[in-house]
Amino acid sequence: MTASAIRIGLIYPELLGTYGDRGNALVLRQRARWRGLDADIVEVRADEPIPAELDVYLLGGGEDAPQLAASAGLRASRAAIDRARANGAVVLAICAGFQLIGNTYVDADGDVLEGLGLVDMDTRSGAPRLIGEVVVEPDRALELPLVSGFENHGGRTTLGNDVRPFGRVVAGGGNGVDGVDGALAERLVGTYLHGPVLPRNPALADLLLQWIVGHELTPLPALVEDRLRMERIDETMRTGIQAWLRDRRLARG
Protein backbone atom coordinates (compact mmCIF):
# COMPACT_ATOMS: atom_id res chain seq x y z
CA MET A 1 0.00 0.00 0.00
CA THR A 2 1.41 3.39 -0.96
CA ALA A 3 1.46 6.28 1.47
CA SER A 4 -1.06 8.19 -0.64
CA ALA A 5 -3.49 5.31 -1.13
CA ILE A 6 -7.03 5.51 0.20
CA ARG A 7 -7.10 3.15 3.18
CA ILE A 8 -10.41 1.30 3.27
CA GLY A 9 -10.79 -0.28 6.69
CA LEU A 10 -12.80 -3.50 6.81
CA ILE A 11 -13.40 -3.84 10.55
CA TYR A 12 -13.73 -7.32 12.10
CA PRO A 13 -14.90 -9.06 8.89
CA GLU A 14 -15.01 -12.45 10.65
CA LEU A 15 -17.57 -11.03 13.11
CA LEU A 16 -19.30 -8.25 11.19
CA GLY A 17 -19.61 -9.64 7.68
CA THR A 18 -23.17 -10.92 7.29
CA TYR A 19 -24.80 -10.95 3.84
CA GLY A 20 -21.62 -10.11 1.94
CA ASP A 21 -20.96 -6.73 3.54
CA ARG A 22 -17.32 -7.19 2.48
CA GLY A 23 -18.62 -6.15 -0.93
CA ASN A 24 -18.84 -2.55 0.28
CA ALA A 25 -15.05 -2.46 0.62
CA LEU A 26 -14.54 -4.04 -2.81
CA VAL A 27 -16.81 -1.51 -4.49
CA LEU A 28 -15.14 1.49 -2.85
CA ARG A 29 -11.72 0.22 -3.91
CA GLN A 30 -12.77 -0.47 -7.49
CA ARG A 31 -14.63 2.80 -8.01
CA ALA A 32 -11.62 4.68 -6.69
CA ARG A 33 -9.25 2.78 -8.98
CA TRP A 34 -11.46 3.37 -12.01
CA ARG A 35 -10.80 7.06 -11.39
CA GLY A 36 -7.04 6.57 -11.16
CA LEU A 37 -6.99 6.80 -7.34
CA ASP A 38 -4.85 4.37 -5.38
CA ALA A 39 -6.96 2.45 -2.88
CA ASP A 40 -6.32 -0.58 -0.70
CA ILE A 41 -8.40 -2.62 1.70
CA VAL A 42 -7.02 -2.94 5.22
CA GLU A 43 -8.61 -5.86 7.04
CA VAL A 44 -8.63 -5.43 10.81
CA ARG A 45 -9.20 -8.74 12.56
CA ALA A 46 -11.01 -8.97 15.87
CA ASP A 47 -7.79 -9.72 17.78
CA GLU A 48 -6.09 -6.57 16.45
CA PRO A 49 -6.34 -2.94 17.60
CA ILE A 50 -8.18 -0.66 15.18
CA PRO A 51 -5.71 1.84 13.70
CA ALA A 52 -6.37 5.57 13.63
CA GLU A 53 -4.86 5.98 10.15
CA LEU A 54 -7.71 4.60 8.04
CA ASP A 55 -9.69 6.81 5.66
CA VAL A 56 -12.96 4.90 5.95
CA TYR A 57 -14.23 2.47 8.59
CA LEU A 58 -16.67 -0.18 7.34
CA LEU A 59 -18.71 -2.01 9.97
CA GLY A 60 -20.96 -4.80 8.72
CA GLY A 61 -23.74 -6.96 10.10
CA GLY A 62 -23.63 -9.87 12.51
CA GLU A 63 -25.75 -11.94 14.87
CA ASP A 64 -25.96 -11.26 18.61
CA ALA A 65 -22.95 -13.37 19.65
CA PRO A 66 -20.50 -11.88 17.10
CA GLN A 67 -21.95 -8.44 17.83
CA LEU A 68 -21.16 -8.91 21.52
CA ALA A 69 -17.63 -10.02 20.69
CA ALA A 70 -17.12 -7.03 18.39
CA SER A 71 -18.38 -4.48 20.89
CA ALA A 72 -15.50 -4.92 23.35
CA GLY A 73 -12.83 -4.38 20.71
CA LEU A 74 -14.62 -1.38 19.26
CA ARG A 75 -14.90 0.28 22.66
CA ALA A 76 -11.23 -0.42 23.34
CA SER A 77 -10.35 1.36 20.09
CA ARG A 78 -12.71 4.30 20.63
CA ALA A 79 -9.83 6.78 21.03
CA ALA A 80 -8.29 5.70 17.71
CA ILE A 81 -11.63 6.00 15.93
CA ASP A 82 -12.20 9.45 17.42
CA ARG A 83 -8.76 10.59 16.20
CA ALA A 84 -9.48 9.25 12.74
CA ARG A 85 -12.83 11.02 12.55
CA ALA A 86 -11.27 14.26 13.75
CA ASN A 87 -8.85 13.94 10.83
CA GLY A 88 -11.68 13.47 8.32
CA ALA A 89 -12.25 9.70 8.26
CA VAL A 90 -15.59 8.35 7.02
CA VAL A 91 -17.77 5.72 8.72
CA LEU A 92 -20.26 3.37 7.07
CA ALA A 93 -22.04 1.15 9.61
CA ILE A 94 -24.47 -1.57 8.55
CA CYS A 95 -27.09 -3.37 10.69
CA ALA A 96 -25.22 -4.73 13.76
CA GLY A 97 -22.43 -2.28 12.99
CA PHE A 98 -25.02 0.48 12.92
CA GLN A 99 -26.38 -0.60 16.30
CA LEU A 100 -22.86 -0.67 17.74
CA ILE A 101 -22.13 2.98 16.91
CA GLY A 102 -25.04 4.00 19.13
CA ASN A 103 -25.30 4.20 22.91
CA THR A 104 -26.84 0.84 23.79
CA TYR A 105 -28.31 -2.32 22.34
CA VAL A 106 -30.75 -4.33 24.48
CA ASP A 107 -31.03 -7.93 23.26
CA ALA A 108 -34.02 -10.28 23.44
CA ASP A 109 -33.00 -11.43 26.94
CA GLY A 110 -32.86 -7.87 28.24
CA ASP A 111 -29.07 -7.79 28.43
CA VAL A 112 -27.61 -4.34 27.69
CA LEU A 113 -24.67 -4.03 25.32
CA GLU A 114 -22.76 -0.76 25.46
CA GLY A 115 -21.99 0.82 22.11
CA LEU A 116 -19.43 3.30 20.86
CA GLY A 117 -21.67 6.32 21.36
CA LEU A 118 -20.69 7.90 18.04
CA VAL A 119 -24.38 8.61 17.47
CA ASP A 120 -27.03 9.43 20.07
CA MET A 121 -29.37 6.48 19.57
CA ASP A 122 -30.50 3.31 21.32
CA THR A 123 -31.62 -0.04 19.96
CA ARG A 124 -33.83 -2.68 21.51
CA SER A 125 -34.58 -6.12 20.13
CA GLY A 126 -38.21 -6.41 19.06
CA ALA A 127 -40.70 -8.48 17.11
CA PRO A 128 -41.52 -9.29 14.47
CA ARG A 129 -38.17 -9.65 12.77
CA LEU A 130 -37.86 -7.26 9.83
CA ILE A 131 -36.88 -9.24 6.74
CA GLY A 132 -37.01 -8.32 3.08
CA GLU A 133 -36.32 -5.65 0.51
CA VAL A 134 -36.15 -2.01 1.56
CA VAL A 135 -36.40 1.26 -0.35
CA VAL A 136 -35.17 4.44 1.34
CA GLU A 137 -35.45 8.06 0.23
CA PRO A 138 -32.17 9.54 1.54
CA ASP A 139 -31.94 12.86 3.37
CA ARG A 140 -32.31 15.61 0.76
CA ALA A 141 -28.99 17.18 1.69
CA LEU A 142 -27.21 14.10 0.33
CA GLU A 143 -28.68 14.62 -3.16
CA LEU A 144 -28.94 10.87 -3.72
CA PRO A 145 -31.56 8.89 -5.65
CA LEU A 146 -33.70 6.24 -3.97
CA VAL A 147 -31.58 3.61 -2.21
CA SER A 148 -32.27 -0.11 -2.42
CA GLY A 149 -31.25 -2.75 0.10
CA PHE A 150 -32.12 -5.89 2.04
CA GLU A 151 -32.79 -6.11 5.77
CA ASN A 152 -32.87 -9.00 8.24
CA HIS A 153 -32.90 -7.83 11.86
CA GLY A 154 -34.99 -7.56 15.01
CA GLY A 155 -33.68 -4.18 16.08
CA ARG A 156 -35.85 -1.18 16.87
CA THR A 157 -33.59 1.86 16.81
CA THR A 158 -34.67 5.17 18.34
CA LEU A 159 -32.67 8.23 17.33
CA GLY A 160 -31.89 11.10 19.69
CA ASN A 161 -33.76 14.35 19.19
CA ASP A 162 -30.88 15.98 17.31
CA VAL A 163 -29.96 12.99 15.13
CA ARG A 164 -30.99 12.95 11.48
CA PRO A 165 -31.98 9.64 9.91
CA PHE A 166 -30.21 8.46 6.78
CA GLY A 167 -33.59 8.65 5.07
CA ARG A 168 -37.30 7.99 4.99
CA VAL A 169 -38.47 4.40 4.50
CA VAL A 170 -40.59 4.10 1.36
CA ALA A 171 -40.91 0.30 1.63
CA GLY A 172 -39.67 -2.08 4.31
CA GLY A 173 -38.88 -1.69 7.99
CA GLY A 174 -35.65 0.28 8.45
CA ASN A 175 -35.19 1.35 12.06
CA GLY A 176 -38.63 -0.03 12.86
CA VAL A 177 -39.45 3.31 14.51
CA ASP A 178 -40.81 6.57 13.07
CA GLY A 179 -40.71 5.36 9.46
CA VAL A 180 -37.02 6.09 8.98
CA ASP A 181 -33.81 4.17 8.36
CA GLY A 182 -30.35 4.63 9.75
CA ALA A 183 -28.61 7.73 11.00
CA LEU A 184 -26.64 10.53 9.42
CA ALA A 185 -23.83 12.58 10.91
CA GLU A 186 -20.72 14.36 9.64
CA ARG A 187 -19.03 11.92 7.23
CA LEU A 188 -21.02 9.08 8.80
CA VAL A 189 -23.83 6.92 7.44
CA GLY A 190 -25.56 4.20 9.44
CA THR A 191 -28.23 1.99 7.89
CA TYR A 192 -29.90 -1.40 8.19
CA LEU A 193 -29.44 -2.02 4.47
CA HIS A 194 -27.42 -5.01 3.33
CA GLY A 195 -27.30 -6.04 -0.28
CA PRO A 196 -24.43 -5.19 0.00
CA VAL A 197 -25.63 -1.60 -0.05
CA LEU A 198 -22.79 0.00 -2.05
CA PRO A 199 -22.83 -2.42 -5.03
CA ARG A 200 -26.58 -1.82 -5.21
CA ASN A 201 -26.23 1.95 -4.95
CA PRO A 202 -23.13 3.31 -6.70
CA ALA A 203 -24.16 6.92 -6.06
CA LEU A 204 -23.87 6.28 -2.32
CA ALA A 205 -20.46 4.69 -2.82
CA ASP A 206 -19.31 7.73 -4.77
CA LEU A 207 -20.61 10.07 -2.07
CA LEU A 208 -18.48 8.28 0.53
CA LEU A 209 -15.45 8.46 -1.77
CA GLN A 210 -16.12 12.15 -2.28
CA TRP A 211 -16.12 12.67 1.49
CA ILE A 212 -12.81 10.82 1.69
CA VAL A 213 -10.97 12.74 -1.05
CA GLY A 214 -12.60 16.08 -0.25
CA HIS A 215 -13.69 17.04 -3.75
CA GLU A 216 -16.16 16.08 -6.46
CA LEU A 217 -15.37 12.99 -8.50
CA THR A 218 -15.45 12.39 -12.21
CA PRO A 219 -18.75 10.61 -12.99
CA LEU A 220 -18.56 6.96 -14.05
CA PRO A 221 -20.90 5.14 -16.44
CA ALA A 222 -23.42 3.22 -14.33
CA LEU A 223 -26.03 1.97 -16.79
CA VAL A 224 -25.95 -1.63 -15.58
CA GLU A 225 -25.87 -0.70 -11.89
CA ASP A 226 -28.68 1.82 -12.24
CA ARG A 227 -30.84 -0.63 -14.20
CA LEU A 228 -30.41 -3.31 -11.53
CA ARG A 229 -31.10 -0.78 -8.76
CA MET A 230 -34.32 0.33 -10.42
CA GLU A 231 -35.38 -3.28 -11.03
CA ARG A 232 -35.06 -4.01 -7.31
CA ILE A 233 -36.88 -0.79 -6.39
CA ASP A 234 -39.70 -1.43 -8.85
CA GLU A 235 -40.14 -5.01 -7.65
CA THR A 236 -40.10 -3.95 -4.00
CA MET A 237 -42.65 -1.22 -4.56
CA ARG A 238 -44.92 -3.50 -6.61
CA THR A 239 -44.77 -6.21 -3.94
CA GLY A 240 -45.48 -3.64 -1.24
CA ILE A 241 -48.53 -2.29 -3.03
CA GLN A 242 -49.83 -5.83 -3.59
CA ALA A 243 -49.42 -6.61 0.11
CA TRP A 244 -51.20 -3.39 1.07
CA LEU A 245 -54.13 -4.23 -1.21
CA ARG A 246 -54.27 -7.79 0.14
CA ASP A 247 -54.30 -6.61 3.73
CA ARG A 248 -56.98 -4.06 2.94
CA ARG A 249 -59.19 -6.72 1.35
CA LEU A 250 -58.70 -9.01 4.37
CA ALA A 251 -59.58 -6.19 6.75
CA ARG A 252 -62.82 -5.57 4.84
CA GLY A 253 -63.72 -9.26 5.09
* Positions marked active-site: 95, 194
Written in H, E and C, the secondary structure of the chain is CCCCCEEEEEECCCCCCECCCHHHHHHHHHHHHCCCCCEEEEEECCCCCCCCCCCEEEECECCHHHHHHHHHHHHHCHHHHHHHHHCCCEEEEECHHHHHCCCEEECCCCCEEECCCCCCEEEEEEEEEEEEEEEEEECHHHCCCCEEEEEEEEEEEEECCCCECCEEEEECCCCCCCCEECEEECCEEEECCECCHHHHCHHHHHHHHHHHHCCCCCCCCCHHHHHHHHHHHHHHHHHHHHHHHHHHHHHHC
